[in-house]
């Protein structure tokens, strides 16, 4: 199991649990950026009675440790959460060993705001979808697709919310701080470069790394890799920033749509298909649109909720297979057919002699 840096323990646990329940031994390779919680969990598991060798944690870099692990012929199942490029690379290795493969990969979640949505709830929900965990989740809302009749009203309130979030960013240890740091300086540079090299759109909020000190508590932003909530309007759908996963609070593009058909086409115009959100009071519309969205996960009037019994996974370039629920248990199991002849020996001697010398003997082929 290759695990990412975001939600390092949570994502590991929802893979470890069904794997152990199905009777497997598990090796976890946590992210080199966030290994500690998984290592401590393994110690707790051993204290709780998990036998030695059943659950192992092997820290290291993905390009070395991870590649060596998935290449080993004794590994019969590989389960990763990673970017799509990593998924392709590891998937080719797994395929050459004819091992099973589950991959939860990149995402670029659309959030559809219909004209009958409760605007204030949609504003709060879109902010939660887009900026929780500093936007570093695979199902973050990154494409706000708003019906044109409510676009102005929604954007006015949404930008007020963004300003409020930014104003209250500060020391991550301060409970009043709204949003924390990007995972590393490398990721911060990548986010900034993605925003700068876009070929369209107007930045309405954010747009560059945070400098100076916090107005909340005087925290020095140079002590971390801070990027503010960023909103870009009128991005062309052929632009890389519309299509590429940014994995940070900088990737939120806003665009308006005319009608249901137009909104669905904009939402589906992406190589990813992991998560999506719908905001509407009309549940018939919600179900109708959800069915047509090319996403493995669809939320209606909410986002990021994760029911352990509900399958979790993507379509298109967002991965292969499902986590959670009975699907996860089955993914860590193999079916087997055992056929037993229960006839008495006397009956079998007569009926199962396919090459009997008696007349009217059975013929096959």
- The residue from 40, 47, 68, 104 that is catalytic is 104
Does residue 248 carry a pLDDT above 70? yes
For 256-297, the pLDDT digits (tens) are 999 999 999 999 999 999 999 999 999 999 999 999 999 999
pLDDT of 357: 81
Confidence of residue 362 (pLDDT cuts 50, 70, 90): low
Contact call for residues 295 and 274 (beta carbons, < 8 A): yes
Q: What percent of the chain has pLDDT over 70?
A: 98
Q: Please list the residues that pair with 103 across neighbouring strands.
A: 80, 320
pLDDT for the residue 364: 62
Domain with CATH 3.40.605.10 in the chain: 8-105+318-331
3-state secondary structure of 220: strand
Q: How many CA atoms lie within 13 A of 225 on its CB side?
A: 16
Q: How high is the pLDDT of residue 101?
A: 96
Tally: H helices and E strands in the chain: 12, 14
Fold of 8-105+318-331: Aldehyde Dehydrogenase; Chain A, domain 1 (3.40.605)
Q: Edge-to-edge strand order for the sheet containing 109-113?
A: 202-205, 231-233, 252-257, 141-147, 109-113, 275-279, 297-300
Least confident range of 13-22, 28-37, 204-213, 356-365: 356-365
Residue 342, pLDDT score: 96
Mean pLDDT (the chain, rounded)? 94
- Domain 109-311 part of CATH 2.40.50.100: no
pTM of the predicted model, to two decimals? 0.91
Separation of alpha carbons 93 and 84, rounded Å? 14
Selection from 225, 150, 148 nearest residue 185 by Cα: 225
43 is catalytic: no
Using one digit for the tens of pLDDT, what is the confidence trace for 75-93? 999 999 999 999 999 999 9
* Token code pair at residue 238: 């052929």
Residues of the chain with CATH 3.40.309.10: 109-311
pLDDT exceeds 60 at position 365: no
Q: Are 23 and 49 in contact (CB under 8 A)?
A: no
């Amino acid at each position: 199991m290759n695990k990412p840096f975001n939600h390092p323990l949570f994502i590991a646990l929802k893979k470890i649990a069904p794997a152990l329940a199905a009777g497997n031994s598990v090796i976890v390779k946590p992210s080199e950026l966030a290994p500690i919680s998984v290592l401590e969990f393994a110690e707790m598991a051993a204290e709780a009675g998990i036998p030695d060798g059943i659950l192992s944690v092997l820290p290291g870099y993905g390009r070395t440790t991870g590649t060596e692990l998935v290449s080993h012929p004794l590994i019969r199942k590989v389960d990763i959460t990673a970017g799509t490029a990593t998924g392709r690379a590891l998937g080719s290795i797994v395929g050459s060993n004819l091992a099973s493969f589950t991959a939860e990969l990149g995402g670029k979640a659309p959030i559809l705001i219909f004209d009958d949505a409760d605007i204030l709830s949609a504003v709060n929900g879109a902010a939660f979808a887009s900026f929780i965990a500093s936007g570093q989740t695979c199902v973050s809302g990154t494409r706000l697709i708003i019906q044109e009749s409510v676009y102005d009203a929604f954007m006015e309130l949404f930008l007020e919310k963004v300003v409020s979030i930014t104003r209250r960013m500060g020391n991550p240890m301060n409970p009043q701080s709204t949003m924390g740091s990007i995972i590393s300086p490398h990721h911060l540079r990548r986010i900034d470069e993605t925003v700068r090299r876009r070929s369209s759109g107007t930045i309405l909020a954010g747009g560059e790394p945070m400098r100076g000190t916090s107005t909340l508590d005087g925290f020095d932003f140079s002590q971390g890799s801070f990027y503010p909530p960023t909103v870009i309007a009128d991005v062309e759908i052929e632009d890389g920033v519309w299509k590429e996963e940014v994995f940070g609070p900088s990737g939120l593009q806003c665009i308006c749509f005319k009608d249901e058909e137009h909104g669905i086409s904009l939402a589906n115009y992406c190589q990813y298909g992991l998560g999506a959100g719908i905001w509407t009071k009309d549940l018939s519309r919600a179900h109708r649109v959800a069915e047509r969205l090319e996403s493995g996960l669809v939320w209606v009037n909410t986002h990021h909720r994760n029911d352990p019994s509900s399958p979790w996974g993507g379509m298109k370039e967002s991965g292969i297979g499902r986590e959670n629920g009975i699907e996860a248990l089955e993914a860590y199991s193999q079916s087997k057919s055992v056929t037993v002849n229960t006839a008495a020996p006397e009956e079998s001697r007569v009926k199962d002699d396919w090459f009997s010398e008696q007349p009217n003997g059975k013929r096959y082929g």
